[in-house]
Structure 1
């Protein structure tokens, strides 16, 4: 453990080096007082092709570096719809987290009666001799269970001699109000576990302090025991997918219209040790056959959101999958050379599962799991952040080993490096690959990188797999995006869009956070178990404004001012023109935008004080849209301090 602790501290130190001072440009500290108007004239011909995949998302089921004080819970207890915590007793030492006995009963984790080979224990409920009334247990979810006016799907496994009714309830944990009560007739035996599935309706709770209860007739079990395993509770899911995504969270992600999904995350892929890495074959099939593991963030990961669920998610939101494969690097050790070969074979098995015909070994397994046609995989990233946390010296060799194996069998796939530092790459990288860059910056530092991609070689296409603005004045950063940070991201995104002939993909990270748990900054979307808690940050609105108004061609613009504090980019799709602007400064700026032969459209504006934030139940900063009419193709826009705008005209 001391070796592991030292390696984690070293990993953290290396990872934090991702936040240095910028290598190009100067920190921008705009001076007040320059309020002269800026004239922008869009040239409606020429320009560069813009990548259709520019604005996507990256999903990480925890924060971006393994630390015991960081946890987001965006997958289990978040985007994945299953609401009960610790339902399979997965992870290193889950104990009775989220469980409590009800009535004349005691509970314990029972290893003698596993539910399956993967779910290696169950919950034993012991009833006192002579007991009467109702006994059972409760699960309190992830700091509460969101209870709304809807129909819930529920499933559990049961072992023990019992014939009669069980009662499933959703109950206010502090006020005792019953929001749902449903009888389930069962005929359980002590010989083997029996699975039960049911649905029931609930009325809405005013808060998230709720629990799920399972009760049985205590007199029928007095002096004995019953065992229960892998309880699951789902509200309606996005697109009604079984084992699917929580609908309300998924919908606001869909509203971003993301073009791609990078998964299964960054550090989530790597594992604290080789054995706790993300293993694709342990995340497919029935949930009862998925063992889960201890995550990189020292809490259990059920892997109920698995490989196929990620891909159904891509299909339902029309996103291009960007799949990362394990390349030998974990936080507890690195496999390279001959040691890596068995893991390369595993990658090829995964690709056959995804891409193989249904008559192949692994393609037939995919078909049995509900997907007959191959998944539309085009992009494979080899590893995660190999230019940090100790991966650099061996990555050139490991990358080429994996590249050659994949390219030989699947020459049409685009392969992506997980390192951008030339010292961590092969001396002569193969043609046709992409390069993944990750960085988090303070607002001024991110703005200072505006011209960074002007200098990228056009023969080295890039993916910005993770980026975002952080308040780095404290070690852990500010826990939620604020307007100045979001404006700096808009400036940086304008720089990316101006260079979107070579910057092919960009994904802000992380995507989600569960408010009651220790947080990482930045994050787009926050939530908890309370109604109305779903909170869209100022950075979310910037992402949505840019992603939903992306042109196919980046157009040249003549201007009467240089960049800073006002930044802009223009694009078009057919006869629609878009101009995106950000005012990273203290003063209002007047901008006259001229786009010949256009007449009308709309202006969308996001603005607020530099330290303005959106928080649960106090989310006040959001875009305002208004119609605009041009005068001889000209539009006057008042850009407030720290404002972000999209002008769209026809």
Structure 2
């Protein structure tokens, strides 16, 4: 009896094991010959906003903070460490901001009185320090006026945190009038928190302005250009578009501090510095020294788009300030300047050399058109006021530029009263492309992979313009770029790709964050003054973007798409140019999954490749100490009997790539 019980128990265990094993197996089918729809080249792109010190202190490689003394506090960022204060005078010297009111865009300069040329110095702290690398060259430029000829030399030194000199150069201020000077350093050591120290030979008065320091090595080695390692991370993604300059940065807290593109073009020194709207937005991370120099302006954004092979997608104010702040409205009868800005921007990007704005583009160094195809009206405004203004913009833009595609907005959330109203009204207007935003939990992303399955194929196209899984909650400083967020986004992205008939553009947000000066988390790329890395979310975005394809294919289980059944998600594409099939598979379960994929419609080479992103822990992250903790692993793959059999690791994102014969 005892042996019989043991035997029955063993048989039940074997049967249960067999059932469980079979439950882990999934058979899918892909019809390679049948194209569901064409995939837009813009399917996976980038959204850039000047938040988290992403422009000044980040992508824009300028190392001097407040180079032209135009911050609200003109000497912010500048220290006078050796000044001895008394009730009557500055014994060693003093720096005083001077305002020249007739210069409307750059009215301030710094007048320095040197009483003791051995004891006076002025030091720039950079953007949380300056990152310098041993053996690298750094280009200095400035404007100086030596009115009484008393200052014989100006010495510039890169110093480390212990005041040790790491590089030195000097200039002779030879003119009583304003004159431009240049020189160069070579750094003797690597230092993340360097500063620029300026001392003088002679006593008397010297005037300084536009003190600037750039690495010689920038992206494409452009003078005073962009930070090479950050642009490289963008380039490597092969993005379909670049949306700029935001984001809420477009709107401003008030209309007067909105982003105005015309103030961001022309000579860099003539661009008016403005406070960044994110400087005091969040109590958890206030940054009163966060300003916009606009050295990275609209011309540079268009140029960057061209450099990385991305379609430019500028977003402009629609006459509504941020509704989370003042919500200030430009009256309808005063909307003309805003509309003219949109029309002039199209001329700046595409106009020939006989137009005013086309000529400016050419004079700045780009005679050819930037081939602008899209323009956004407003960021994430909502309500009747937005719809009323959108109508006027649409009418004016289409009247002059009928081929330009206009991006409209559905508000800040993917559902609710504001979203429903915007979608209803924009559909009535026949809107071409509607921008949707989602900052939700990882679970929401997994549960909404089928979000677009029932969207009207004849209705407006969708731009998933801002999305990121929030590990805690929206706008929370404790949000992390953890692996659960990343693979949950991948699950959602299979749904975006499966619905390429409706979804034409998608982008994660925000793009970049400085390790020491961020306001919002999570972010796709993290950097400090010396290094940069792509988060796990970046690796997911890159994997999808570099395996985009030209044609959408059906991938089904029992005739239905895989949208989370048994924690599995899938999409499939082919590239008619490279003759490759690419199948994306996401396993969000804590156990492995055995997948068999039947391939019909075309003959396939038996050899291919399998790329996998995986990590054992939901909280795992890439960091500065482990920047490649979660990174793709590629291996050769062999078909068996014309079928693909794959074991998907727990918590994984995989791409199977096969060649069509």
Smaller-chain TM-score bracket: 0.7 to 0.9
- The answer for the alignment partner of 1:534 in structure 2 is 532
Q: After TM superposition, give the deviation of residue 305 of structure 1 in Å.
A: 0.7
Bigger drift between 306-315 and 473-482 goes to 473-482
Match of 2:399 in 1: 408
Question: Distance between the aligned counterparts of 1:508 and 1:288, measured in 2?
Answer: 32
Specify whether residues 443 and 381 from structure 1 end up closer, same or farther in structure 2 by C-alpha distance, changes over 3 A only.
Answer: same
Q: What CA distance in whole angstroms lies between the structure 2 residues aligned with 1:35 and 1:225?
A: 83
Shift of 1:134: 6.8
Deviation per residue, 1:336-356 (Å, 9 max, x gap): 310212322233233322222
Q: 1:33, CA displacement in angstroms? A: 9.0
Secondary structure in 2 matching 1:153: strand
For normalisation by structure 2, the TM-score amounts to 0.85
Query: Which residue pairs with 1:373 in the alignment?
Result: 368
Structure 2 residues without counterparts, runs of 5 or longer: 1-19, 84-90, 280-289, 412-418
Report the Cα distance in structure 1 between the residues aligned to 2:273 and 2:194, rounded to whole angstroms.
Answer: 26
Residue 613 (str. 1) matches residue 621 (str. 2): yes
Alpha-carbon shift at residue 566 of structure 1 (Å)? 1.0
Distance apart, 1:109 and its partner CA: 4.4
1:446 CA displacement: 1.0
The residue number in structure 2 matching 1:443 is: 442
Identify if the C-alpha distance between structure 1 residues 177 and 335 changes in structure 2 by more than 3 Å, giving closer, same or farther. same
Equivalent in the alignment of 1:468: 468
Matched residue pairs, number? 594
Q: Please give the alpha-carbon distance, in whole angstroms, between the structure 2 residues aligned to 1:479 and 1:142.
A: 24
1:197-596 equivalent positions in 2, closer than 5 A: 197-205=182-190, 207-217=191-201, 220-221=202-203, 224-235=204-215, 236-298=217-279, 299-331=290-322, 332=326, 333-387=328-382, 392-419=383-410, 421-424=419-422, 426=425, 429-431=428-430, 433-458=432-457, 459-472=459-472, 476=476, 478-529=478-529, 531=530, 533-559=531-557, 563-564=563-564, 565-574=567-576, 575-595=579-599
Do the aligned residues in 2 keep the contact of 1:151 with 1:199 (CA within 8 Å)? yes
Q: Distance in 2 between matches of 1:297 and 1:475?
A: 12
Q: How far did 1:200 drift?
A: 3.0
User: What is the CA–CA distance in structure 2 between the aligned matches of 1:461 and 1:49, rounded to whole Å?
Assistant: 13
Compared with structure 1, are the counterparts of its residues 452 and 493 closer, same or farther at alpha carbon in structure 2 (3 Å cutoff)? same
> How far apart are the structure 1 equivalents of 2:82 and 2:608?
61
1:600 and 2:607 correspond: yes
Question: Is the 8 Å Cα contact of residues 77 and 126 (structure 2) preserved in structure 1?
Answer: no
Q: Does 1:54 align with 2:43?
A: yes
Q: Does 1:73 align with 2:53?
A: yes
CA-to-aligned-CA distance 1:602-641 (integer Å, 9 cap, x gap): 1111111111011112222211111112223333322222
| CA contact 1:336–1:398 (8 Å) conserved in 2 | no
Whole-angstrom CA distance in 2 between matches of 1:94 and 1:489: 44
* 1:140 counterpart = 2:152: no
> In the TM superposition, what is the alpha-carbon distance from 1:199 to its structure 2 partner?
2.8
How far residue 95 of structure 1 moved from its aligned partner, in angstroms, is: 4.2
After superposition, residues 79-90 of structure 1 pair within 5 angstroms as 79-90=59-70
| Structure 2: distance between partners of 1:591 and 1:98 | 61
CA distance in 2, matches of 1:280, 1:201: 36
- The offset of 1:422, in angstroms, is 4.6
Structure 1 residue 102, shift from structure 2 partner: 5.3
Contact 1:471 1:477 in 2 (8 A): no
| Residues 475 and 521, structure 2, Cα contact 8 Å, conserved in 1 | no
Greater relative contact order (CA < 8 Å, ≥ 6 in sequence): 1
Pair 1:150 & 2:144 matched: no
TM-score, normalised with respect to structure 1:
0.87
Q: RMSD of the TM alignment (CA)?
A: 2.3
Aligned equivalent of 1:69: none
Task: Give the SS at the match of 1:602.
Answer: strand
Q: Deviations over 1:549-592 (max 9, x none)?
A: 11111112243695420111111113211011111111111222
CA distance in structure 2 between the partners assigned to 1:172 and 1:627 by the alignment: 48
**In 2 relative to 1, CA 204–544 (structure 1 residues): closer, same or farther, beyond 3 Å?**
farther
